[in-house]
Copies of this chain bind each other. A is one copy, B any other.
């Protein structure tokens, strides 16, 4: 496959029953609701810089990032669905941001009004450059959506200021942020402005990361001994900090194992992939490949969730994938989508699209309720019934992250290159791709993910010769293909079937992906899933919920040979394909005086079992849930 570029979401429409309603809800419900939250929690007013000691709430170090992701999401929405009120609201918020900018270009509420004496002195914990990065992403999105340069210019000035503070020259700081983000944002700023200095600054931050002596070790002294933002006040020393938490335990090119905080890792690896693409740096790509194999071969949940524990919001040891205590932060899976998308375009390999799809259709979309009003921060694979989405979080990174992802979802569907077009995701709707000097419109008709049959109408401006690459997902064991009614043998290379021909307007491609219910088994080194099976149909991982299966989900066992039926239920959870079958449930001993332990295995009784997509769990009555079921 040649070098390919994503087709921007502005040239893609989604008209399916799975994603399009999510996008509408995101626009009509989530974005307005999120603005209200930003307002009522003080995140917007903090930009007025009128905080004084004693006043509540105290601006938090994260706050700009929440505002920025909302701005980014709203800009994406505006780009495809113009709304003058939203446009004006964005201008208002951007004016606040512009006023908060200092004369030297600096722009951070916390370190302007709360702790001005520590500006750039707590890179490890205080998220200063992280917030800057999110504001840059918002600026790029706003400029692209509206053509206005208001926010873009603010952020360019800030980036220019940052470039004076950080760098290899004498007097400059050789530091980098404890939470990667600015690195990928600077690449976006470079692409939006063409200013190479932003690319170079991103490179600097990535190259410095993990150099010894660890930059963070000197910060405390520079603060006169004051503890860092998240230090335990009882033990203010930096010595206990594990640099692997923020992927700075060694130079990034030497990193082969995924470590630490999952979102930090995904944002860093995304930037590494960006830089590999921009500069052709093979050592960065090599590190990305090794990290990818480690992540997906040893650390990823079947839902595309990553990060096993709340303790570090991140990774633990290989194959440690507990279900009920899985962390699987929504933001981490979104970060995985970002990274996978970049790896796909760097390599053209379908394995990256497989993981992108897995994360998107399961862990990511689980992050928001069907009504767009409630959010998961962590997405466990089993719940006793007490885990539910919430309206908002004091650390509110996930809700606006889902919002910006949904608003820009179209960008993951198609790619274009000089020699052809590729379809990565099957979503009813259309995309306009540029192939060499032609414009080609691709129309998908499909019930995907409920059905694996996809009709693609190819509409070049004029007859045109190019390759259409169609992804054959890794989960699919049998696919058939026809072009204009003629069966074509499906030869899958790197995850794609390719049709190379002279295309005429209204040529029809039909791809049929067999989509049976699959039983999925984990590597036996995953202790949590020993003796267990998960169900997957197409890209969707299924789960059993108490709402369908009653109590005692943990004890439910699926006989290995039981028949499972898939059926579309239009009235269930907005319309989903559910899977039913017979399972076995232990007969609970009659209560009273019984012994906990006996020498006979418990008896079982057959019960009806139903599974629904994990994507939509916890949208009914509160109850238990399980992805991995015992197998009898």
A-side interface residues toward B, CB under 8 Å? 293, 296-298, 300, 302, 477, 518-527, 530-531, 533-534, 552, 554-555, 557, 560, 586-589, 593-602, 630-631
- Name the B residues within 8 Å of A526 (CB-CB): 596
Closest residue of B by beta carbon distance from A554: B527
Closest residue of B by beta carbon distance from A301: B596
Asked if A589 contacts B519 (CB within 8 A), the reply is no
In the complex, A596→B527 CA distance in Å? 12
- Name the B residues within 8 Å of A520 (CB-CB): 597-599
In the complex, A377→B222 CA distance in Å? 43
Instruction: For the complex of A and B, list the 4 residue pairs with the smallest distance between their C-beta atoms, beginning with the closest.
Output: A524-B586, A527-B554, A524-B602, A524-B555
Contact of A599 among B298, B300, B521, B599 (CB under 8 A): B521
With A593-B297, A595-B297 as given contacts, are A530 and B518 in contact (CB-CB < 8 Å)? no
Asked if A588 contacts B555 (CB within 8 A), the reply is no
CB A549 to nearest CB in B, in angstroms, measures: 15
CB A233 to nearest CB in B, in angstroms, measures: 10
- Name the B residues within 8 Å of A589 (CB-CB): 523
Contact of A601 among B521, B596, B601, B602 (CB under 8 A): B521
Asked if A596 contacts B560 (CB within 8 A), the reply is no
Asked if B600 contacts A530 (CB within 8 A), the reply is no
Closest residue of B by beta carbon distance from A593: B293
Closest residue of B by beta carbon distance from A516: B599
Closest residue of B by beta carbon distance from A604: B524
- Name the B residues within 8 Å of A523 (CB-CB): 588-589, 594-597, 602
- Name the B residues within 8 Å of A521 (CB-CB): 597-602
CB A346 to nearest CB in B, in angstroms, measures: 18
In the complex, A526→B586 CA distance in Å? 11
- Name the B residues within 8 Å of A554 (CB-CB): 527, 530
In the complex, A594→B304 CA distance in Å? 16
Number of copies: 2
Contact of A522 among B534, B596, B630 (CB under 8 A): B596
With A523-B596, A525-B555, A555-B527 as given contacts, are A601 and B560 in contact (CB-CB < 8 Å)? yes
In the complex, A557→B555 CA distance in Å? 18
Closest residue of B by beta carbon distance from A541: B597
Q: List 11 A-B contacts (CB under 8 A).
A: A296-B596, A297-B593, A297-B595, A521-B597, A522-B597, A524-B588, A524-B602, A525-B555, A530-B554, A530-B630, A531-B557
In the complex, A557→B524 CA distance in Å? 12
Residue from A477, A530, A552 having most chain B Cβ neighbours under 10 A: A530
In the complex, A293→B593 CA distance in Å? 6
- Name the B residues within 8 Å of A631 (CB-CB): 601
Closest residue of B by beta carbon distance from A551: B525
In the complex, A511→B288 CA distance in Å? 70
Asked if A297 contacts B531 (CB within 8 A), the reply is no
In the complex, A533→B615 CA distance in Å? 34
- Name the B residues within 8 Å of A477 (CB-CB): 599
In the complex, A298→B597 CA distance in Å? 10
Closest residue of B by beta carbon distance from A527: B554
Asked if A525 contacts B588 (CB within 8 A), the reply is yes
Closest residue of B by beta carbon distance from A594: B297
Closest residue of B by beta carbon distance from A531: B531
CB A474 to nearest CB in B, in angstroms, measures: 8
- Name the B residues within 8 Å of A594 (CB-CB): 297, 523
With A521-B602, A524-B555 as given contacts, are A531 and B630 in contact (CB-CB < 8 Å)? yes
Contact of A297 among B519, B530, B596, B600 (CB under 8 A): B596
In the complex, A554→B589 CA distance in Å? 27
- Name the B residues within 8 Å of A555 (CB-CB): 524-525, 527, 530
CB A528 to nearest CB in B, in angstroms, measures: 9
Given A523-B602, A526-B596, A530-B630, output 16 extra A-B contacts at Cβ < 8 Å. A296-B595, A297-B595, A298-B596, A477-B599, A518-B599, A519-B599, A521-B598, A521-B599, A521-B600, A521-B601, A523-B589, A523-B595, A524-B588, A525-B555, A527-B554, A531-B531
In the complex, A419→B300 CA distance in Å? 68
CB A535 to nearest CB in B, in angstroms, measures: 11
- Name the B residues within 8 Å of A293 (CB-CB): 593
CB A169 to nearest CB in B, in angstroms, measures: 43
- Name the B residues within 8 Å of A586 (CB-CB): 524, 530
Closest residue of B by beta carbon distance from A632: B531
